[in-house]
Structure 1
Amino acid sequence: MRIVLVGPPGAGKGTQAAFLAKNLSIPHISTGDLFRANISQNTELGLRAKSFMDDGKLVPDEITVGMAKDRMQQPDAAGGFLLDGFPRNVSQAEALDAMLKDAGMKLDAVLDLEVAEDEVVKRIAGRRICRNDSAHVFHETYTPPKVPGVCDTCGGELYQRSDDSEATVRTRLEVYHTQTEPIIDYYKAQGLLVTISALGEVKDVTRRAMDALKK
């Protein structure tokens, strides 16, 4: 299957992408991984992307599309893939359609993880990270530490990352609504959109997604 995963920040796309890709035996292709891989390997696209990033500028769509195209042409993606974070806007969605058409392929579904804005803010703004080890993550509501502000694992101080503040989260949501949300209507018009609730336990959301994709 060839699937695009969409949803606002905090919807759990990364978590669900990993589970779905494993269940469907297809590679999980995320924008973040594409950028890290190309930059670390000093590819032409990676070097071009880094030059924009170092200047604090947005990476042009053509570079992101080029990275995605190269990745989707690798042998492990021949039988399908799950795209996470790409396409990010309608222009990229149109480029993806053209790319797949040229290769004699098409998308099978676009899975939209739906979650209310207030829930997104609650999920992200409540997150607390251990200063000693960023792998130790807690949540004020869902997975609170035994002692407020103290890591259960190592006793380190828990803090809120600056990009997890409510103001920053709402800014990220505004960017999502403006840039990415229009692709939902774009794919809905093509009859590809499948929307599920992203609320509840991870396993329940995964089950919902698998059931929806089977239909």
Structure 2
Amino acid sequence: MLNIVLFGPPGAGKGTQSQKLIAQYNLVHLSTGDLLRAQITQGTELGLTAKKLMDEGLLVPDAVVIGMIGSALKDNPQAGGFIFDGFPRTVAQAESLDRLMTEHNTHIGCMIALEVQEEELVMRLLERGKTSNRPDDQDETKIRRRVTVYNTETAQVAGYYAAQNKFHALNGIGAIDDIFGQICGLIDQQKVAVPETPAAATKEVKA
């Protein structure tokens, strides 16, 4: 099983690269942003609370996010792996994710971070805001606040994975396919696939 955390500030290109990685490695995409927006669309209590926080560029409470991730893991028992897009965002979330993955007899193989300068991020998000209908993509002040939150809180997660020798940084500026090729090369070279469980290994031998 291959489990990857794709990391980077808002607008770094995580969503685009996630879709390409899903097709390449047959992964299940877990984006907390997408999960939350689905709740918002459905008008649930969680969605209404999340919308208020997201519109202000703030983070949703850890317990809520971890609960959603746990449900997603349970809903995909046959998955060959997962790609986490925009999660974890704090060290506490990373620790909770490790515990959650252990409960499911697997673990995170690596974190790949896309690095992009702030001015480029602002330009990308404002452009995306023209079609995304997301208030937090249309207000430069909110965009810069989100980048600040990333730099002051979320970026610390890199140190957490670096301590486990799982952190790898890549330049997020360039042609999409070129960046994708670098990510795939890193995944293949580092052999980040999680070791198979005994049951999975037995099944492969029988096949």
TM-score range normalised by the length of the shorter chain: 0.7 to 0.9
Alignment of 1:43-58 (within 5 A): 47=45, 49-50=46-47, 52-53=49-50
User: Which residue of 2 is the match for residue 208 of structure 1?
Assistant: 182
Contact 1:52 1:58 in 2 (8 A): no
Distance of aligned partners of 1:59 and 1:121 in 2 relative to their CA distance in 1, 3 Å threshold: closer
Cα deviation, residue 165, structure 1: 4.3
| Distance in structure 2 (CA, Å) of the matches to 1:126 and 1:64 | 28
Does the alignment pair 1:172 with 2:169? no
Alignment of 1:1-215 (within 5 A): 1-38=2-39, 47=45, 49-50=46-47, 52-53=49-50, 59-75=60-76, 78-125=79-126, 129=130, 134=131, 163-215=137-189
Distance of aligned partners of 1:54 and 1:208 in 2 relative to their CA distance in 1, 3 Å threshold: closer
Gaps of 5+ in 2: 190-207
Contact 2:115 2:171 in 1 (8 A): yes
Residue 47 of structure 2 aligns to which amino acid in structure 1? K
Note the alpha carbon deviations across 1:137-165, whole angstroms, 9 max, x for none: xxxxxxxxxxxxxxxxxxxxxxxx77444
Choose between structure 1 and 2: higher helix proportion: 2
Residue 200 of structure 1 aligns to which amino acid in structure 2? G
Contact 1:5 1:84 in 2 (8 A): yes
| Distance in structure 2 (CA, Å) of the matches to 1:162 and 1:99 | 30
Gaps of 5+ in 1: 136-160
Distance of aligned partners of 1:85 and 1:58 in 2 relative to their CA distance in 1, 3 Å threshold: closer
User: Which residue of 2 is the match for residue 147 of structure 1?
Assistant: none
- Higher RCO, 1 vs 2 (CA within 8 Å, ≥6 residues apart): 2
Distance of aligned partners of 1:26 and 1:185 in 2 relative to their CA distance in 1, 3 Å threshold: same
| Distance in structure 1 (CA, Å) of the matches to 2:136 and 2:97 | 33
In the comparison of the two structures, how many residue pairs are matched?
Answer: 184
| Distance in structure 2 (CA, Å) of the matches to 1:167 and 1:69 | 33
Note the alpha carbon deviations across 1:31-57, whole angstroms, 9 max, x for none: 122223455668xxx54x235336658
Contact 2:40 2:50 in 1 (8 A): no
- How high is the sequence identity, in percent, across the aligned residues? 37
Distance of aligned partners of 1:54 and 1:126 in 2 relative to their CA distance in 1, 3 Å threshold: closer
Residue 173 of structure 1 aligns to which amino acid in structure 2? V
The two structures, once aligned, show a CA RMSD in angstroms of 2.8
| Distance in structure 1 (CA, Å) of the matches to 2:38 and 2:48 | 15
Residue 50 of structure 1 aligns to which amino acid in structure 2? G
User: Which residue of 2 is the match for residue 150 of structure 1?
Assistant: none
Residue 52 of structure 1 aligns to which amino acid in structure 2? T
